[in-house]
Structure 1
Amino acid sequence: MLYHIYEMNHAAVAPFRAAAEMGLWALRHPLNPFAETVAGKTLAAALDVFETTTRRYGKPAFGLHETEIGGKPVPVVEKTVWERPFCKLIHFEREPSALKNVAPQPKLLIVAPLSGHYATLLRGTVEAMLPYCEVYITDWIDARKVPVTEGSFDLDDYIDYVIDMCRLLGPDVHLLAVCQPSVPVFAAVAAMHDIDDPCVPLSMTLMGGPIDTRESPTEVNRLATERGTEWYERNVVMTVPWPHPGVMRRVYPGFVQLSGFMAMNLDRHIDAHWNYFDHMVEGDGDSAEKHREFYDEYLSVMDMTEEFYLQTVDEVFVKHSLPKGEFVHRGRPVRPEAITRTALMTVEGEKDDISGVGQTRAAHKLCTNLPASMKTHWEQPGVGHYGVFNGSRWKNEIAPRVREFIAAHGSRPAKS
């Protein structure tokens, strides 16, 4: 019912939002003498804040049309190379003619989180790796846009998707999982080793992921443990309303996830919008543009299927199945000890309030048969969850270490 109320509220506000857009156009028109007055700027800023806070944000674009290799610009084109109902695999193809004199570079599959935001949240992650790797990324589909006739999608399906993409890209691929996918990526690699799959990845880098949420539990972890899966099923899972293509599909709505994230730091978001208002009145276009860029991404959210969301909560945050050795994929136990030929790197942020320090590093303890020479860990000082994969610390301190790790494990170790 809440989803229907949300949709009705959005529809009810639409005329006022349209009026605000018209008012903005008039107030900012260069021929309007009122535009440069304090009163005009104040009214325009108020209308802008109203429009941006009531808008429905669609999926952003990656916008990565060029990279730089060897000091020269290289055009980049996005191409979909694999597709299923709930995911597309995007290849950031660099202009082949510009790579003629460049040594072969590693193939990198970035597995984006399916946790409310679109894969474009990793724009900075992709951008930092593009000059050095052949980059692919999972582009998860908003569940409210997938008709119920396409069937369900759960954690087992997620793992199957990762395995299928590894087989598509071949045995020379490296994996990089950001946050939520650390668990299914780790499980997929273990499952591939267990059946001696020839396409097991050369390496996997897990960043800020909930491998073992018993380590340094955060508020998010504590809530899941205290409430249990049944509470989430009763209170946050809803039915997609008409007119979305996924009408009647049961989902965890993105707007509910976003509300939870914003509530964790509500004062900071309110202050940010007040500052945005002041910047526009003062004519500080650069600061206002930075605000818009951040919130255009942050407020763009997607729905997750009920079965995937609840299974993830239950297995990862309530039962702790993976570190306890109780995780199962398609009826088969997932055995981390089977991993012997995929190098492992874990990355954590010192101030991460979503995946606490030690939760990702726990993967090393599970890989009991992986040689120490194939294990690496890095804890980045001074960064929170998003700083692990975006921003200056990622670009200047973390990404070079990840690239060094990938380069060091560019060949397959011999079978024991």
Structure 2
Amino acid sequence: MTVATGRSLRSSAELIRAEEPVLAHNYHPLPVVVSRAEGAWVQDVEGRRYLDMLAGYSALNFGHRHPALVAAAHRQLDELTLTSRAFHNDRLAHFAESLAALTGLDMVLPMNTGAEAVESGIKVARKWAYDVKGVAPDRATIVVAADNFHGRTTTIVSFSTDETARAGFGPFTPGFRVVPYNDLAALEAAVDETTAAVLIEPIQGEAGVVIPDDGYLRGVRELTRRAGCLFMADEIQSGLGRTGRTLAVEHEGVVPDVLLLGKALGGGIVPVSAVVARREVLGVLGPGEHGSTFGGNPLAAAVGSAVVELLGTGEFQRRAEESGVLLREGLTALLGKGVRGFRARGLWAGVDIDPAIGTGRAISESLMREGVLVKDTHGSTIRLAPPLTITEEDLHTALAALEKVLDQGPR
């Protein structure tokens, strides 16, 4: 059975073929065409249901079409959607106040996408280095970690170590030093008087949910404080409940100088991102030095405020922590049965499949056929990041599907 999509009746296969000549091939999606969704489940144009274990790379932490978030968007759509920052709007102050309070920081720079938040954070760190730290003009450096993923703009891929992201896009932006992740000695050796900031992911998501050793984040915090540079934490994937805390840095009791947020901040409804920082850091920006037509728009502010309100209850952090125990137990039971190893925190896991069974892509395709959607990272690693609203029953369904796929052997 096919259902109406847009103006025509077209099957999944027809829609996939229709994309080929008209869409840039910058993605390699699984061959499923989603037309409806609710909670942790999506439905394709033929009516087949799938359990979403990716949640938009954490953009859907609250599930598809969370009622409170949809209601907030509907209310705002009836009032005002965009003014640009040429004028004030009646939603922005509350959004900024509530987000600053949630994170324990002072000021908010609203943007749209995660990559925009990272680019904005880089600009702010450099401006701070020149205006406050006294670094000589055009000499500021930022130290980053190998195997990072912060986005795909030209500047950001300049300090990526992933050749797929870099190759063919030079010349690259200077001013970055790359050190191994989870290596405080290497980080300390790279920091000097020109260092504006250390930019890291508290957990490296795209690399396969790589969790640093206990004490690493505290070490980064102490090192940057001693060196007189900023600690800039990219929590675009790890933040807003995913790891069982509002922020992943909270697992070590750390407060960064600059926090980069996105994905889940828009509730899976609109793109919303933000740089959140101490006043003396974000305060370096003046009118005309940075901006965004859509950043801080009333619709985004209304949805973002509703997201912050949900997180303020603590419910979703608790759900991630409690369901994360079930996820780890289920994955532990599969060790030696096709799973070589895994790394997990909260409802987030990188699972290393035995390469003899298949690549991460092949495993993802097999799970799709079993009604479960995941995504590979590198090699034979897949990542699991379901909505924080997932039920215990649905989590067991996903783990049973993974066990079944592994039992099928090589593909």
- Sort the TM-score into its range (normalised by shorter chain): under 0.3
Q: TM-score, normalised by structure 2?
A: 0.25
Select the structure that is richer in helix: 1
Larger RCO (CA within 8 A; separation ≥ 6): 2
Q: TM-score, normalised by structure 1?
A: 0.25
